[in-house]
Chain A
Amino acid sequence: MQEFLQQVVSGIASGGIFASLALALVLIYNAMGLVNFAQGEMAMFATFVAYALIENGMSYWIALPLALVLAFAGGVLIQRVVIRPVERAPVLTLVIVTLGLATLINGLAGFVFGYIPRSFPSPFSVQTVSVLGALISFRDLGVIAVSALVLVLIYLLLQRTTLGLAMRAAAHNPDASRLLGVRVSWMLALGWGLASAVGALSGIMVAPILLLEPNMMQTIIIYAFAAAVLGGIESPLGAVVGGLIVGITVNLAGAYLVGGDLQLAVAFLIIVAVLVIKPNGLFGRPSVRRV
């Protein structure tokens, strides 16, 4: 029972990480009806930036926000330079562009930082504390706290501020928003920036666990896909709930059912099952189906 509880808590911690990346996917999906296949790679690159800052003697708590700001700027830049020219293209074109972006960023990271896995510092110790008899690490608790904080901040930004309102409006109905003076293109760029920053956080949270290298996010993005799809790809709340469910499920399945090497297959199974049985996920609204 105690071990089970431990698995659940560390599942929640992984879930927080997946939720952050899934939320990034949802933000961009809402902004332009697109799944950003480069989200994981963008997060990985931002994590490398944070690593470089810390390596150069910066304290973790300064490097973290700085890296997030840089990730934000990077996301805006990518939208302006790469995405904007194809904004009105068919979705297939956009998907291919984000794949190109993923490949490009992966290659760039490999070139700049090399392929040797590096250990990434965590501000939380791996020491454990006993909760209801289960041994839970401070690192897991820290990850859960940071993820929760960021998710709440994003929620407040989107739901309680005028900027968030304009971003939602631009995403849902660009033409009508333009007529209200909303600078739609910039709102989309901000959406990319925000997604990039939230995604970067997931990279920085996961790096101490996985070791940092250019392919680090390749599996995490699949878990994030599973989380986003499960929650309903347009729902921020769904991304969070989906992230937690995927995190716990995958952790438990890895511990008790299939073994660690097939955890990824469990995520794949979740994706396929949701898409086939309930394509709108838990919180997505039903869309009009063609044929």
Chain B
Amino acid sequence: MLARVRRAPPRYWLVLVAAVLLIGLPTVVTSFQSSQWNLVLIFTIAIMGLNVLVGYSGQISLGHGAFMALGAYTTAILIARYHVNYLVTIPIAGLVTGAIGFLLGIPALRLSALYLALATFALAVVTPSLIKRPEQLTGGVQGIGLVPQEPPQFAAAAFSTVTGGTQMTSEQWLYYLSLAIAVLLFWVAWNMIRHRPGRAMRAVRDGEVAAAAFGINVAGYKTLAFGMSAFYAGVAGSLYGLATTYVSPDTFPVALSFQLLVGAVLGGLASTVGPLLGGMFVYWLPIVSSQTISDQSWIPEQISSVFVKAGPAVTYGALLILIMIFAPNGVVGLITSGYGALRKRLRGAGERGTGQMPPDPQTG
């Protein structure tokens, strides 16, 4: 047993540490900070779905913000118009969005990656105007307001025992709710990726003709990936609506879809822990960067105000470009390749120099 523990690869330790930190977090930070980390988790869930789609099945969606909107509105409408219990609305939101994603996945099959990008981008741009139309249902431009959800008895009791009598707030409860759902969905994605569907999807991504020749149902797995990824976005949207207690067409601008893509790309496509890193980056980067930069007294006022005002868009845009140019495998890719290089170094550079070509490029 002990030997097994010792042999465990470092990533298992990382997962353990991350789990302890994530579970313990709300007991040490404020309720407001819990709500911020709740949004991190929500982004993580959406990015997990996008990661399945882009990283594993090789399709692309620039419209995941639209799927989140669908999930959020499903929850908001069910709660506000039909008084459904909010916990029940979460899976419903996921299923409704997933079903629509699955249906959209069918025409998407016929499209090349480029056209798919184009169509989903258009979807993201159109969504706000589509939401505004059925005013009876969606509240039009006004949107729908929700009441904060109170923590259930057992959770409140457990929380106050651990913290020594502190009352659990709605934000802290929603954080745990998102955490539980994120873990569950992570487990689902992790299992799918390691088993037959994951292998099939990767085969499809790396070459559809070859995959079809091996008897893989290319169309089936591509639509499955689309549906699954929409399901994740729908759940994330639902939790987002609950967290912000207010949904309106402007909650889901095109920029949201970009943000999710940035997160997926930044964390590293086709990596399992990437989405969490991506979620953290996407949420914290604009907040932290504008704070730190305006706090630095040595940076001239004019320059720092440039950075703060230019805001997230410039940072996201620049980051996307830089990552794609210098680290197309994302942060996780950088770390693993760095770790691999380090291990090789430690083992000795004996295997070097097998290539016979002198490193003298003739043409770029």
Contact = CB atoms under 8 A, between A and B. Distances in A.
In their complex, do chains A and B touch, with some C-beta pair under 8 Å? Answer: yes
Interface of A: 33-35, 37, 82, 85-86, 89, 91-93, 95-97, 99-108, 110-111, 218-219, 221-222, 225-226, 229, 261-262, 264-265, 267-268, 271-272, 275-276, 279, 290-291
Contact of A95 (B60, B126, B254, B312): B60
A262 B60 CA distance: 26
B125 interface: yes
Interface string B130-142: 1011000000000
A57 B267 CA distance: 48
A99 B320 CA distance: 8
Interface stretch (B34-42, B111-119, B341-349): B111-119
Nearest to B54: A92
Contact of B317 (A93, A100, A229, A291): A100
25 contacts: A37-B62, A92-B60, A92-B113, A99-B320, A100-B318, A100-B321, A100-B324, A102-B317, A103-B255, A103-B258, A103-B317, A104-B314, A104-B316, A104-B320, A107-B317, A108-B310, A221-B125, A261-B133, A264-B129, A267-B126, A271-B122, A272-B107, A272-B122, A275-B107, A279-B111
Contact of A86 (B54, B107, B324): B324
A155 B311 CA distance: 40
A85 B122 CA distance: 27
B313 A219 contact: no
B320 A96 contact: yes
Contacts of A103: 255, 258, 313-314, 316-317, 320
Max chain B CB contacts within 10 Å: which of A97, A219, A229?
Answer: A97
A85 to B, nearest CB: 5
B118 to A, nearest CB: 6
Given A96-B320, A100-B321, A218 B125 contact: yes
Contact of B126 (A34, A82, A265, A279): A265
Contacts of A33: 114
Contacts of A290: 208-209
A110 B129 contact: no
Interface of B: 54, 58, 60, 62, 107, 110-111, 113-115, 117-119, 121-123, 125-126, 129-130, 132-133, 208-209, 212, 218, 254-255, 258, 261-262, 265, 306, 309-321, 324-325, 328
A101 B113 CA distance: 19
Contacts of A35: 114, 117-118
A127 B116 CA distance: 43
B314 A99 contact: no
A110 B311 contact: yes
Nearest to B58: A92
Max chain B CB contacts within 10 Å: which of A105, A222, A261?
Answer: A222
A37 B132 CA distance: 25
A105 to B, nearest CB: 7
Contact of A96 (B110, B133, B261, B310): B261
A93 B113 CA distance: 11
Contacts of B328: 89, 93
A228 B123 CA distance: 16
A46 B310 CA distance: 18
Contact of B132 (A107, A226, A261, A268): A261
Contacts of A91: 113-114
A33 B311 CA distance: 32
A99 B126 contact: no
Nearest to A34: B114
Given A229-B115, A262-B133, A279-B110, 9 more contacts: A33-B114, A37-B121, A82-B321, A97-B324, A102-B317, A104-B313, A106-B313, A268-B122, A271-B119
Contacts of A271: 118-119, 122
Contacts of B313: 103-104, 106-107, 110
